[in-house]
């Protein structure tokens, strides 16, 4: 068994958090791709905030990096949506490289981006690699939930509530969450025909798929979360006046042919002092059920799961897949290459 060779596509906040975890689990960082002129050309260890250089520069072109060295997996963190991240996943597939992205839509993208998903699946199968989405939702919003409701005799309604602090995920996510906008700007944006699908939809798609539920109707409402006092958004270097957006909450609800209703309320906003991430799931049915993860470290848990899934992605059959189809994620006390199947 030899160490896993990984490439970061995207060298922002999440890659910087994940890099020490990779090193600790003996995954070799053999390449890094970034866009910013301030990062390209510098040593990846410096850009990722490590205490040592890695001997590989941050480069601007994914294809150039993947065609110039052997790579087992790409860790993709460039955007939240398939329309953007799909191109990077396609380049990985064409170069015969497995990939796992933390793009939120990628957690279960088939219904919200059917054409991109079908194209990526065909490309991945053609090149014998696995592409998938991972991150925070994997355990906390999908696999813990499908495991919990697997213990029910009957579920009538599942309601999940989760929040994350926008300010921990860099400026891209903060801009996506409309931080600093006025309510009027938010509503104009919301009414726009090209609004990307909500991430809650992708989470509920995964839960429904794992639970044998057939979606018959989906509704989404979105409410703005407003600053009640002046508050800082560090990632945008912006002070937000009261009445402007600190983020928003998407409320996605699915009706199913089998009866159960599934709802997820996903809030991404700037937190007030002392506020923490909570993951809370309530099940009405037989029996009633309730599961809470108080004070979740969403940011680190995003990266731990991005990293821990690497062997599962390498081991999985070729194609575009999702975390509900992968084996249950297990604790990995050994270096990650010990968990790679040798076929």
Site string for a second copy, 41-80 (x = CB under 8 A): ----------------------------------------
User: Contact with a second copy (CB under 8 A): which of 19, 54, 174, 307?
Assistant: 307
Binders of a second copy among 275-304, rule CB under 8 A? 286-297, 300-301, 304
Shortest gap between Cβ of 299 and a second copy (angstroms)?
Answer: 9
Residues 188-217 that bind a second copy (CB under 8 A): 210-213
What pairs with residue 207 in β-bridges?
Answer: none
Distance CA 29, CA 40 (A): 16
* Burial class of residue 331 (count of CB atoms within 10 Å of its CB; 0-12, 13-18, 19+): exposed
By CB under 8 A, tell whether 321 contacts a second copy.
Answer: no
Among 60, 148, 159, 226, binds a second copy (CB under 8 A): 148
- By beta-carbon proximity to a second copy, the closer residue of 81 and 254 is 254
DSSP character string of 184-244 = HHHHHHHH-TTPPPPHHHHHHHHHHHHTT--EEEEEEEEEEEE-SS-EEETTTTEEEPTTS
Binding of a second copy by 274 (CB under 8 A): no
User: In terms of CB distance, is 151 or 191 closer to a second copy?
Assistant: 151
Of 131, 151, 166, the closest CA to residue 316 belongs to 131
Using alpha carbons, list the distances in angstroms from residue 291 to 208, 268, 305: 18, 20, 20
CA dist., res. 7 & res. 127, Å (int): 18
CB 20 within 8 A of CB 307: no
Does 37 bind a second copy (CB under 8 A)? Our answer is no
In the complex, what is the shortest distance from the CB of residue 35 to a second copy, in angstroms, rounded to a whole number? 27
Phi, psi dihedral angles at 299 (to 5 degrees): -65, -55
User: If binding is defined by CB under 8 A, does position 102 make contact with a second copy?
Assistant: no
Q: What is the b/e burial string over 193-215, where b = at least 16 CB atoms within 10 angstroms of the residue's CB? A: eeebbbbbbbbbbbbbbbbebeb
Contact map string, positions 214 to 253, toward a second copy, x by CB under 8 A: ----------------------------------------
217, 230, 258, 275: residue in contact with a second copy (rule CB under 8 A) = 258
Is residue 147 near a second copy by the rule CB under 8 A? yes
- Total residues contacting a second copy by CB under 8 A comes to 50
* 194 Cβ contact list (under 8 Å, min separation 6): none
Smallest distance, a second copy to C-beta of residue 333, A? 4
Of 114 and 259, which CB lies nearer to a second copy in the complex structure?
Answer: 259
For 256, the token pair is: 């199913």
Residues 305 and 179: their CA atoms lie apart, in Å, by 27
Interface residue list for a second copy (CB under 8 A) = 21, 24-25, 138-140, 143-144, 146-155, 210-213, 258-260, 286-297, 300-301, 304-305, 307-308, 328-334
């Amino acid at each position: 068994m030899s160490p896993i060779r990984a490439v970061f596509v995207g060298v922002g906040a999440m890659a910087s958090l994940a890099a020490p975890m990779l090193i600790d689990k003996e995954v070799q960082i053999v390449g890094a791709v970034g866009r910013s002129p301030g990062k390209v050309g510098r040593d990846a260890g410096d850009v990722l905030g490590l205490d040592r250089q890695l001997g590989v520069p941050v480069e601007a072109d994914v294809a150039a990096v993947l065609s110039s060295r052997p790579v087992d997996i790409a860790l993709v963190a460039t955007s939240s949506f398939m329309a953007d991240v799909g191109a990077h996943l396609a380049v990985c597939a064409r170069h015969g490289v497995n990939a796992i992205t933390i793009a939120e839509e990628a957690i279960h993208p088939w219904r919200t981006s059917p054409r991109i998903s079908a194209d990526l699946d065909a490309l991945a199968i053609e090149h014998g690699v696995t592409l998938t989405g991972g991150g925070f939702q994997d355990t906390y919003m999908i696999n813990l939930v499908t495991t919990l409701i697997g213990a029910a005799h009957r579920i009538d309604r599942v309601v999940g509530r989760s929040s994350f602090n926008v300010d921990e995920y860099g400026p891209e996510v903060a801009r996506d969450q409309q931080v600093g906008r006025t309510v009027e700007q938010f509503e104009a944006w919301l009414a726009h025909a090209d609004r990307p699908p909500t991430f809650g939809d992708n989470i509920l798609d995964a839960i429904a798929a794992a639970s044998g539920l057939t979606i018959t109707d989906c509704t989404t409402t979105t409410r703005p979360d407003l600053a009640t006092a002046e508050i800082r958004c560090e990632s945008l270097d912006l002070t937000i006046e009261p009445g402007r957006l600190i983020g928003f909450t998407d409320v996605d609800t699915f009706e199913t042919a089998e009866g159960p209703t599934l709802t997820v309320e996903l809030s991404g906003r700037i937190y007030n002092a002392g506020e923490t991430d909570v993951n809370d799931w309530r099940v009405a049915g037989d029996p009633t059920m309730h599961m809470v993860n108080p004070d979740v470290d969403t940011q680190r848990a995003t990266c731990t799961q991005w990293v821990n899934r690497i062997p599962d992605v390498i081991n999985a059959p070729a194609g575009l897949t999702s975390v509900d189809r992968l084996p249950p994620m297990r604790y990995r006390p050994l270096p990650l290459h010990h968990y790679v199947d040798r076929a």
